[in-house]
Structure 1
Amino acid sequence: MADAEMAAKKNSDLGVRLASAAVMLALAGAALYFGGKVLDTFIVIVALIAFVEFVLLVVKATENLSFRLAGILAGAVYVFVAAGIMAQMDSPSLILTLGVVIFTDTGAYLFGRTIGGPRIAPRISPSKTWAGLVGGMICAALWLAVWTVSLHYFGSNYTFSALVGAMWGVALSVAMVGAGLAVVAQMGDFFESWLKRKAGVKDSSNLIPGHGGVLDRVDGLLPVALVFGFLGWLS
């Protein structure tokens, strides 16, 4: 009975969630389209809101002042370094980064709902399953492979057979990176879920109808951006 009521509630919230998602996509798309200061301002606003929500979670999660200060400092580094990395990215790299997280979430949702099965860490995030993780890895790998190949090879002077060979060589290597980034995104999701559990709340805030807070939307994006920044630094 409880499961049926929960399912009915999710279905009733679907319209609100879709409307909110459309607004979020429109805002992010407009920021990407205009780029420059508009995009930088958008990233800063999102980072500030996410950080405020992070601070509120830390305050609720612990009563020890030293732990609070350490958590807030760590959160500032976590959020603003990731935001700074994204602000420095060109548009193709930023789209690639966002796509990894979007396709990870989409694959995890579809595979998790369709296949179900054992949960990864039910005490932290009851809805996350191993099937969902695999689905997220597959979809992120496909996205990274297709985007990278399209960016580097379409529009070139390759013959069809040479293009297929080049695509295969690049796609295989970047697909493995995409799968790894999907795991990183899920780790960010689990980290925020753990923090919300400690704070005793369901969402980081009620700012976005049907979706919770901004931190709930960027929890997987932050660690992925940090990894991209680290890989860029290595290269």
Structure 2
Amino acid sequence: MEGAESAQLPAAPTPAPPARSDLPVRVASAVVMLVIAGVALWQGDIVLKVFIALVALGVFAEYTALAAKIAPDPARMVTAVVTGAVYIGWAGLALSVMPRIMLVGVLGLVICTDTGAYFTGRALGGPKIAPSISPSKTWSGLVGGMLAAAVWTSLYALSFGYLLSGLSPMGPSLIEAVRTTHLGTAALVGAGLAVAAQVGDFYESWLKRRAGVKDSGRLIPGHGGLFDRVDGLLPVAIIAGTAWAAAGGAGGA
């Protein structure tokens, strides 16, 4: 009987193979993106403007695809497309006309915001900001992103001030750079723009949640679409570029 009973026992389930990490793909894609963007920045002028225009067109295409899944009728689809054209077009224009030194500062700020928010949120956790829109975003992550952006803008402004101090007869001076650079203002600007970057991130997450998709596209292996990569950059570009133009800025540097 023992043998008969043991023969009728169900076989143990085969353990599922461990999920493959997409980290190598993500890293490789990130390196390729950085190289392409770096070459465009290095070339500047028409190459940089064409690159920004192509990215903006790609983002607009992904935005339109999301809107098509959300809009219940043609009238609202037209409204969504016009809204996206203004939002993305404004950001693209701002990026294409601002000086390269400012463009690098804006890109660095958004990267620092995302990095600071990611690691702080994972390390500290805590209450979610809007779990129904983006379940992974926490208040601690927002603060971490703001702090990282504040440090970036302060150091970037200080570096620029140091380079400018080199034009004086006494040569470059860190003390003079600290004295003439408004580090507190730079930090506050960075923290404020970090909030704008997070708002842009939430806006895209809201669109994807309503459209019922995880990513805005599949163009970038391991990263999703272009919109997924620049969601936080768009509002920051609009604010920084518009402020620069309002202050009397002219064509790119």
Q: State the 4+ residue runs in structure 1 displaced beyond 6 angstroms.
A: none
1:152 matched to 2:161? The reply is yes
Deviations 1:6-52 (A, max 9, x none): xx75x701111111100000100010011111111110110000000
Matches within 5 A, 1:86-105: 86-105=95-114
Q: SS where residue 147 of structure 2 aligns?
A: helix
1:41 aligns with 2:50: yes
Q: Does the 8 A contact of 1:144 with 1:175 survive in 2?
A: yes
Q: CA deviation at 1:158?
A: 5.8
TM superposition shift of 1:231:
1.2
Aligned to 1:166: 180
**SS of residue paired to 2:190:** helix
8 A Cα contact 2:218 2:225, kept in partner? yes
Out of 226, 238, 245, which is 1:226 matched to?
A: 238
Measured on the aligned residues, the alpha-carbon RMSD in Å equals: 1.6
Tell me which residue corresponds to 1:26. Answer: 35
**1:159, CA displacement in angstroms?**
4.8
* Identity level (%): 50
Distance 1:23 1:159, change over 3 A: closer
Which of 53, 57, 67 pairs up with 1:58?
67
Q: 1:160 to 1:98 in 2, by over 3 A?
A: closer
Structure 2 match to 1:80: 89
Question: Residue 188 of structure 2 corresponds to which residue in structure 1?
Answer: 176
Is the 2:162–2:176 Cα contact (8 Å) retained in structure 1?
no
| Alignment partner of 2:198 out of 186, 205, 222 | 186
Q: Which has the higher helix share?
A: 1
Residue 160 of structure 1 deviates from its aligned partner by 4.9
Contact conserved, 2:112 with 2:149, CA < 8 A, in 1?
A: yes
Q: Which residue of 1 aligns with 2:22?
A: 13
Unaligned runs of 5+ in 1: none
Name 2:139's counterpart in structure 1.
130
Counterpart residue type for residue 25 of structure 1: L
Residue of structure 2 equivalent to 1:200: 212
Give the whole-Å Cα distance in 1 for the aligned partners of 2:96 and 2:118.
28
1:193-226 deviations in whole A, cap 9, x for unaligned? 0000110100001111110000000100010000
Shift in Å at residue 153 of structure 1? 2.4
Bigger Rg over Cα? 2
The code of the aligned residue for 2:234 comes to L
**What whole-Å deviation, never above 9, does each CA across 1:118-169 have from its counterpart, x for those lacking one?**
11000000111111100100011111111111112235236554444334xx
1:104, 1:185 within 8 Å by CA — same for their partners in 2? yes
The one-letter code of the counterpart of 1:189 is D
Between stretches 225-234 and 114-123, larger displacement belongs to 225-234
AA partner of residue 185 (structure 1) = A
Alpha-carbon shift at residue 114 of structure 1 (Å): 0.9
